[in-house]
Structure 1
Amino acid sequence: MDRTDARTDRQDRSAEQQDDGYRPGPGRPPRRRVSLWIKIPGVLLALAAVLLLGTRLFLIPGLDDLFGTETKDRTGPAVLKSLQDMSSYEAAAGNFQVVVDLEKDAKFLPDAIRGSRTLYVGAGTVGGSVSMARLGKDDVTVNEDRTAATIRLPHATLGRPALDPDRSYAVSKQRGLLDRLGDFFSDNPNDEQAVHQLAAKRIGEAAKESGLTARAEKNTTSMLQGLLHSLGFKDVTVTYR
């Protein structure tokens, strides 16, 4: 046997070792390979069946406790930072709601790559109060018979808007690919903070135009008149400087 025949013989033996032993013969049809396009739908159907079966199992009474999730609160106690004496009368409060539509676009990139748009419903309250911290002797005048009194107060002011997390929610949020990656590696996305700040700003602007300060001054006047009338004063005048 020459070298050519020996090399051919070794190749035939290697092919026989790699073969799985199946040989077509009489009554044995040749093996057909399953196409990849046939395997993929089968795998998807199997996954869908597993998901459907898992959903049905969770509907069985008792299995929810076995496979359900458990929430653990490991939050530490709140720490008191400071105390402040209140020197103003909280006379009125307004409830506001605003729909924030915030969109950020890149100049030379499409929205699918870089950009975001957030639709957020913000609900919060704004308080109107009258300060009594700097009242002097000239601001409170009482006649000799103690039947008439005049009180001069500063105009009412508005407090900072306070968003209510129970009534505020995001309706939709669209982000580009780069923004999604940024949110994935960030613990506190800047977009959420910007939306909250914008919602608080719009609520504060609406409070200024709502007549909340006038309502606070009216309620303060009624409170002081009722208090001084109960002390024996018949004529009580409250003015705002």
Structure 2
Amino acid sequence: MTTSIKRARHMPGWAKLLTVLVVLVVVVLAAVPLLVLGGLKDVFGEETHDRSGPALLKSIQDISRYDAATGNFQVVVDLEKDAKYLPDAIRGTRTLYVGAGTVDAYVDLGKVGENDVTVNEDRTAATLHLPHAALGKPALDPDRSYAVSKQRGLLDRIGDLFSDNPNSEQAVQKLASQHIGEAARESRLTARAESNTTGMLEGLLRSLGFEDVKVTYGDA
């Protein structure tokens, strides 16, 4: 025991320095994993930067239509494109897409002329003749529309590697909009819009003192 203490006391200077360096290396090596793990999160972490330019006002339009009803639609599109002389495994695509969107039904009050509104002398009765309700363009909802599956042939997969937009879904989105528009035309959405417009005008004119309000629809 005494001999070990004496040896430690008479340890050369270079040995003491070496001991200190070894201790420092051990401490650094113990801290490296913590620093590396924290650094990796910073290096591989994702950041989102919005570098879009400011929105530019291109034009202003006065809106004279009354949006009286909105229909919510959903359609499943199964679009398949085949090559005439090649099997599907070589050339061809098939996409299963769920499209959800809305269609507005409106009455264009801007088309109402002076002859379309009749008021009696006592201002107790009014007759209004309005154009039939029309349908707006289908609007797909990107938050509720999605591709269920997409099958591609070998040549199509290779072509996607060199395409600017390999995941383009424009074709199925366009087809989904067409089907939604057709469903809206087959529904009673315009009839609902005319009924809502009639209720709105009757309530408005009665609040102004009119007792008898009649609203009709048809071409001018």
Does the 8 A contact of 2:78 with 2:95 survive in 1? yes
Secondary structure at the aligned position of 1:133 is classed as helix
* Residue matched to 2:78: 101
Does the 8 A contact of 2:111 with 2:131 survive in 1? no
Question: CA RMSD, aligned part only?
Answer: 1.9
CA distance in 2, matches of 1:168, 1:74: 26
Secondary structure at the aligned position of 2:111 is classed as coil
Say which structure, 1 or 2, has more relative contact order (CA 8 Å, 6+ apart).
2
Shift of 1:78: 1.5
Matches within 5 A, 1:8-27: none
* Residue matched to 1:150: 127
Q: Does 1:121 align with 2:60?
A: no
Q: Does 1:217 align with 2:194?
A: yes
* Residue matched to 1:204: 181
Matches within 5 A, 1:136-215: 136-188=113-165, 192-215=169-192
Secondary structure at the aligned position of 2:214 is classed as strand
Q: What's the TM-score, normalizing by structure 1?
A: 0.72
Larger mean CA deviation between 88-97 and 173-182 belongs to 173-182
CA distance in 2, matches of 1:185, 1:212: 44
CA distance in 2, matches of 1:153, 1:69: 56
Secondary structure at the aligned position of 2:169 is classed as helix
**Which sections of structure 1, spanning at least 5 residues, go unmatched?**
1-56
Paired residue type of 1:149: A
- CA displacement 1:109-168 (0-9 Å, x = unmatched): 011111000010101000000011121121000000000000000100000000011111
CA distance in 2, matches of 1:83, 1:193: 28
Secondary structure at the aligned position of 1:218 is classed as helix
**Which sections of structure 2, spanning at least 5 residues, go unmatched?**
1-33
Paired residue type of 1:90: D
CA distance in 1, matches of 2:175, 2:142: 15
- CA displacement 1:32-64 (0-9 Å, x = unmatched): xxxxxxxxxxxxxxxxxxxxxxxxx9xx89964
Shift of 1:74: 1.3
Paired residue type of 2:47: E
Q: What's the TM-score, normalizing by structure 2?
A: 0.78
Shift of 1:188: 3.4
User: Identity of counterpart residues, as a percentage?
Assistant: 75
Paired residue type of 1:221: T
Shift of 1:187: 1.9
* Aligned residue pair count: 183
Does the 8 A contact of 2:205 with 2:213 survive in 1? yes
- CA displacement 1:178-227 (0-9 Å, x = unmatched): 11222222223596211111000000011111200000000000000011
Secondary structure at the aligned position of 2:106 is classed as strand
Q: Does 1:74 align with 2:42?
A: no
Counterparts in 2 of 1:191 and 1:103: CA distance versus 1, 3 Å: farther
